[in-house]
Each structure stands twice: as structure tokens, then as C-alpha cells.
Amino acid sequence: MKHLILYSTVLLLLAACNNGKTNELLQHKKWKVYDVTLPPGTSYNHVQATQAADLKKGYYSDAYYQFLDNDLFIATIGGVPDSGKYSLLSNGKIISITGANGSRNAEHMVEVMKLNETEFDMKVNTGEYHFILRTRKQ
């Protein structure tokens, strides 16, 4: 029993450390979308490939994301900002983004694919397809 409690405590501490590291890398930066790609291992689908190219040239051509203190999330698309709340799940591998009031009625989940000081790639779901938004620190 003593080992089970110790093991559980260590796992909780590791999870908190991973969430902290992810948050540290995300916060106080302006992440600009520079590419929209298909996830690795996705079988080729002409519609999805075309949609990724269209999203890159259109909707995401002027898109920025910011993660700030107090779990504040700001998305700026085409010069129009929108804010919400974010929280880290699954040891910092999933980001839950909700409305400004924190309601999960409009929750979006993004999977962290790559994150370092200058690059942040996230897997997002748009309609029935998944895409990787590739962003760089501005």
C-alpha cells in the first residue's frame, strides 16, 4: 500500500511538471500560423489536401494565438481578436479551449504535436477532418 501511494504521488508530480513545462513554453508568445498540413500517417484524401491548402491561403493566412496568465487564450483571425479560457490536460499534451466564461459547451480540443521555444504545431479538428496547424513564435 505504501508503494502504491508513493507511486501515485510521483505520477501526479510528473504530470504537474509536464503541464508546467508546456504552459511555460506556450505563454507570453504570439504564435503565427505559417502552414496547414495533414497529420502524419493520414491516407491521401484529395478533398482534405485541398481543404488544407485552402485553409492555409484563406482562413489561417493571418492567424495568431496567444496563451496568457490566468488561463486566458486569445485567437486573432484576420485582425479580429476573440478570447477564451484554456487548460492543459493529459500531461500537457492536450489543450482544452473554451469560451471566455469557461463553459465547455463550445470546447475545442487541440493536441500538442510539437512545442519548443520557437515552434508550436497543434492537431486540430475542422469539420470531419484533422489538420496540423504549424505556428512560429513572432
Beta strands 94-99; 108-115: pairing state: antiparallel
| Residue-wise pLDDT tens digits, 63-96 | 999 999 999 999 999 999 999 999 999 989 999 9
- Asked whether the predicted pLDDT for residue 2 surpasses 70, the reply is no
pLDDT at 107: 87
Overall pTM surpassing 0.75 (yes/no): yes
- Asked whether the predicted pLDDT for residue 41 surpasses 90, the reply is no
Domains with residue ranges and CATH for the chain = 2-137 (2.40.128.540)
- Asked whether the predicted pLDDT for residue 12 surpasses 80, the reply is no
pLDDT at 13: 37
Mean pLDDT over 12-18 rounds to 44
Q: Let me know: does 70 contact 27? Beta carbons within 8 Å.
A: no
- Report CA-CA distances (Å) from 74 to 27, 63, 67: 11, 11, 7
Cβ neighbours around 33 below 10 Å, total = 21
Sign of CA dihedral 40, 46, 51, 56: positive
For the record, the C-alpha cell of 4 comes out as 502504491
